């Protein structure tokens, strides 16, 4: 009897698994981005929580001088529950 109650409590007390930086890193790799740095861009709390990561990519070295310097080298990746998806590429802010 106690085992049944313990199993029920543990089943309903555990929080659902949320996607984190490893899942965001894998999503970036799938989208042809070798991740260099991952930062939290936006965090929404609550029962339907969502995290948006800003992933900075390592771009390959090019010798072409006509290549655009504003090429998107940053991705925004949205993670909800255990799934991550690409929101949009963007150019990183140069400081």
Tally of CB atoms within 10 A around 55: 26
Residue 48 is predicted with a pLDDT of 79
Nearest of 29, 23, 35 to residue 83 by alpha carbon:
23
Residue 61 is predicted with a pLDDT of 72
Residue 10 clears pLDDT 80, i.e. is over it: no
Residue range 11-29, pLDDT digits in tens? 554 455 667 889 999 999 9
Measuring CA to CA, how many Å separate 6 from each of 3, 16, 17? Answer: 5, 18, 20
Residue 44 is predicted with a pLDDT of 87
Alpha-carbon distance 18 to 51, whole Å?
Answer: 9
Alpha-carbon distance 70 to 91, whole Å?
Answer: 6
Domains of the chain, by residue range, sit at: 36-59+71-95
Residue 93 clears pLDDT 70, i.e. is over it: no
Residue 85 clears pLDDT 70, i.e. is over it: yes
Beta bridge partners of residue 53, listed in sequence order: 40, 77
Residue range 30-81, pLDDT digits in tens? 998 899 999 999 998 887 789 999 999 987 776 666 655 555 689 999 998 8
């Amino acid at each position: 009897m106690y085992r049944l109650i313990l199993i029920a409590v543990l089943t309903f007390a555990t929080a659902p698994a949320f996607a984190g930086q490893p899942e965001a890193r894998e999503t970036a790799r799938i989208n042809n981005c070798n991740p260099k740095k991952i930062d939290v861009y936006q965090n929404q709390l609550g029962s339907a929580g969502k995290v948006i990561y800003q992933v900075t990519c390592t771009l390959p070295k090019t010798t072409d001088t006509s290549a655009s310097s504003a090429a998107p080298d940053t991705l925004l990746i949205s993670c909800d529950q255990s799934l991550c998806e690409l929101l949009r590429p963007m150019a990183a802010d140069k400081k």
